[in-house]
Structure 1
Amino acid sequence: MQDIYVYFENGLFLKGKSFGADGTHIGEVVFNTSMTGYQEIITDPSYAGQFIVFSMPEIGIVGSNTDDMESKKAFCKGLITRHYNKSYSNFRSQESLAKFLKSQNILGITHIDTRSLIKTIRNNGSMMMIASTSICTSKDLKRQLSQSKQIQEINLIPEVSTKTNYVHQNSVFDFNNFKYGSPPKITKKIIAVDFGAKRNILNELVAVGLEPEVIPHNFQANTIVQKYKSGEIKGVFLSNGPGDPLMLKDEVTQIKLLIEAKIPIFGICLGHQLLSIAHGYKTHKLKFGHHGGNHPVKNLQTHTIQITSQNHNYSIPEEIEQIAQITHRNLFDGTIEGIKYKNSPIFSVQYHPEASPGPKESANLFKQFADML
């Protein structure tokens, strides 16, 4: 493994070892607290433009395989770990994590004190960083980083969204037989707007009897409204995705038209945030966001606690309570995790009920959407 040099916008300069692609990448650094599922995390499109610091110190043990891909490719800039395991051992493995990262042009950085780095991010908040296998001085790295855009200035959605319409037909992965399960009888067709949708979200929609037609982010609401009025579709799903939702002005304009048409809508993560903005309530950025598979969320309707998978840097404001019922709250920081709009057939959650990786105990929300339709 060759040397790799890392510089953060707060002035921190580190030297590690590279086990992924060569080159120089710039992005925002966040930390993830999940203990398993590194390939699903790396291939989550919501990490586009970001470096992922794993709190789990050992990475690479189970290699990688095509079944654990959550999108067609990986969109993150790189990953940072305490120790990379060159030797991998799992009967599902097809290649090493290092080989996978190189094929995806993603930096792999190891021999870093991730405990100290995560404390720095926790105290200073998410920040921009640069990592390079060819630039070795802090001065040169700082200069190149200072000339780059902040992540909130970059529209990442066109990169991760589908370019053409398609119908998703796979159901959830059957871990008993290690293959995708047969989809149940389709009862209702829906539109799924792809802002960077994870594959398992679409799988979960199919698993409850829905047939999602996946469409690009730059959709025209009038076409969807016509399909809804004709009975061709029964509702709309708004997916997760990367970046600052306030940048997506055209998408918000189209979502407003869907709201006005009283179409049933379910939103997850970015979709949840865009629905808030479309209703007139702007999002704000959290200090270091929620990234991991161990976040406790309270269901305020059932008074039960769910352990959830999360990946977001933004949150909707408390003022939305004027038009929506708050249904879920994060027990770490009290932020809103779910709402149901009072005068519309619309509900949304900030966390990821489809998991992959993470707990599956919130998957009933997909059935809730199907029942509402």
Structure 2
Amino acid sequence: MNKISLYFENGLMLEAKSFGAEGTSVGEIVFNTSLTGYQEITTDPSYAGQFVTFTTPEIGNVGCNAQDMESKGAYCKGVIVRSYQDRPSNFRCEETLAELLKRENVLGITEIDTRFLTKMLRDEGAMMMVASTEIHDQDALKKVLDSSPRIEEVNYIEQVSTKESYIHPEGRYNTDTFQYDAPNTTKKIIALDFGIKRNILNELTHAGMEVTVVPNSISAEEIIEKVDAKECDGVFLSNGPGDPLILTEEHEKIKKLIARKVPIFGICLGHQLLSISHGYDTYKLKFGHHGGNHPVSNVVTGKVEITAQNHNYNVPDNITEVATVTHMNLFDNTIEGLKYNDSPTMSVQHHPEASPGPHESAYIFGEFAKML
């Protein structure tokens, strides 16, 4: 392992070891509290532009495989782990995490105190950083960081969205057969790809929807034309990276769909874009919600669901002027789910499709199918 130097915007500089790609990367550092699923997290396009610090200390022990990819690649800037295991042991392992990171040109950082980093982010908030296997001078690293755009200034969905439309062919992953079930679809929807995850698509098809995934560049007029021609029953707005406030073209597009009363379901970034398109701007959380163990209250049923989360932005409390709250986060009482009053539109901030889990919120896909 080669030396890698880290410099943070609060002035801190640290040294660690590199196990991924070589080079220099700038991004926002966040922490994730999931106990499992490091490959799914690494390949989640929502982490584009970010370094992910894993609070679980041992990472890499089961390796990686093609079936557990959440997308075609890895879009994060790097992963930061306390202890990396380069000799994985699992019958599904096809390659090591280091091999995946090198192929995708993502930095891997290890032999560093991730507990310290997590407490720093908890106290000071998510911040920008630079990591390099090439530059080890503090002043030089600071210059690179200061001259780089911040995450809220970059439209990352243009990088992660599909370039061509396609129909998703798979259903839910069957853990008994280690295969994907065949979909049994009765409705047709269009999924706007802002960085969509494979398991979201699996759950949509499992709930009975044929899903056509389309680039973020598609126009509202094209979608409405398909709805009018009975070729589409509704629209799904996917998860994705970055600051939703800078996505002005998406705001206007979604406004047209709302005005046309097209049935819409949004998750994560899609949830935030729906809020903005209704006239209610999102705000940035101090260090975001990232992990697979966040308790959420279902306001409708009174039940508590353990959820997976991955977001730095949230919808404002006064959105209740146009929508009914369906879910609330029990860590900080932020809004997790909405059903809009004057249109067939629903959204959630958390990830009901979580892989490898939890799965307590998967019923939400069935609710969208019923709405259609």
TM-score normalised by length of structure 2: 0.99
Structure 2 match to 1:220: 219
Structure 1 match to 2:10: 10
Give how far 1:23 is off.
0.4
Q: Secondary structure at the match of 2:149?
A: coil
Residue 294 of structure 1 contacts residue 358 of structure 1 at CA under 8 Å; is this kept in 2? no
Structure 2 match to 1:292: 291
Alpha-carbon distance between aligned partners in 2 of 1:43 and 1:223, rounded to the nearest angstrom: 30
One-letter amino acid matched to 1:292: G
Q: Secondary structure at the match of 2:241?
A: coil
Would you say 1:324 and 2:317 are equivalent positions? Answer: no
Structure 1 match to 2:300: 301
For structure 2, the 5+ residue unaligned runs are none
One-letter amino acid matched to 1:149: P
Alpha-carbon distance between aligned partners in 1 of 2:13 and 2:311, rounded to the nearest angstrom: 26
Q: Secondary structure at the match of 2:276?
A: helix
Would you say 1:60 and 2:60 are equivalent positions? Answer: yes
- Show the 5 A alignment for 1:260-271: 260-271=259-270
Q: Any idea what the Cα deviations from partners look like across 1:24-78, whole Å, max 9, x if unmatched?
A: 0100000000000000000000000000000000000001100000001100000
Q: Secondary structure at the match of 1:352?
A: coil
Structure 1 match to 2:356: 357
Alpha-carbon distance between aligned partners in 2 of 1:257 and 1:200, rounded to the nearest angstrom: 28
Structure 2 match to 1:340: 339
Alpha-carbon distance between aligned partners in 1 of 2:221 and 2:17, rounded to the nearest angstrom: 52
Residue 309 of structure 1 contacts residue 357 of structure 1 at CA under 8 Å; is this kept in 2? no
Q: Secondary structure at the match of 1:267?
A: strand
Alpha-carbon distance between aligned partners in 2 of 1:319 and 1:327, rounded to the nearest angstrom: 14
Count the aligned residue pairs.
Answer: 372
Structure 2 match to 1:258: 257
Q: Any idea what the Cα deviations from partners look like across 1:171-228, whole Å, max 9, x if unmatched?
A: 11111111111212x2011110000000110110000110011111111111211211
Give how far 1:357 is off.
3.3
Alpha-carbon distance between aligned partners in 2 of 1:299 and 1:86, rounded to the nearest angstrom: 41
Residue 58 of structure 1 contacts residue 84 of structure 1 at CA under 8 Å; is this kept in 2? yes
Which sits farther off after the overlay, 163-172 or 300-309? 163-172
Q: Any idea what the Cα deviations from partners look like across 1:311-348, whole Å, max 9, x if unmatched?
A: 00000001110010011000001100000001111000
Structure 1 match to 2:124: 124
Task: Compute the RMSD of aligned alpha carbons.
Answer: 0.7
One-letter amino acid matched to 1:89: S
Structure 2 match to 1:372: 371
Alpha-carbon distance between aligned partners in 2 of 1:309 and 1:252, rounded to the nearest angstrom: 26
Q: Secondary structure at the match of 1:275?
A: helix
For structure 1, the 5+ residue unaligned runs are none
Alpha-carbon distance between aligned partners in 1 of 2:49 and 2:98, rounded to the nearest angstrom: 20
Give how far 1:358 is off.
2.5
One-letter amino acid matched to 1:130: V
Would you say 1:242 and 2:241 are equivalent positions? Answer: yes
Q: Secondary structure at the match of 1:367?
A: helix
Alpha-carbon distance between aligned partners in 1 of 2:105 and 2:232, rounded to the nearest angstrom: 39
Would you say 1:149 and 2:132 are equivalent positions? Answer: no
Give how far 1:253 is off.
0.3
Q: Secondary structure at the match of 1:218?
A: coil
Structure 1 match to 2:85: 85
Q: Any idea what the Cα deviations from partners look like across 1:212-255, whole Å, max 9, x if unmatched?
A: 11111111111211211221111000000000001110111010
Structure 1 match to 2:94: 94
Give how far 1:90 is off.
0.2
Alpha-carbon distance between aligned partners in 2 of 1:357 and 1:272, rounded to the nearest angstrom: 22
Alpha-carbon distance between aligned partners in 2 of 1:32 and 1:45, rounded to the nearest angstrom: 15
One-letter amino acid matched to 1:191: I
Structure 2 match to 1:187: 186
Structure 2 match to 1:22: 22
Residue 28 of structure 1 contacts residue 151 of structure 1 at CA under 8 Å; is this kept in 2? yes
Identical residues among aligned pairs (%): 60
Structure 2 match to 1:169: 169
Runs of 4+ in 1 over 6 A off after TM superposition: none
Q: Any idea what the Cα deviations from partners look like across 1:132-154, whole Å, max 9, x if unmatched?
A: 00101111111110111110001
One-letter amino acid matched to 1:322: E
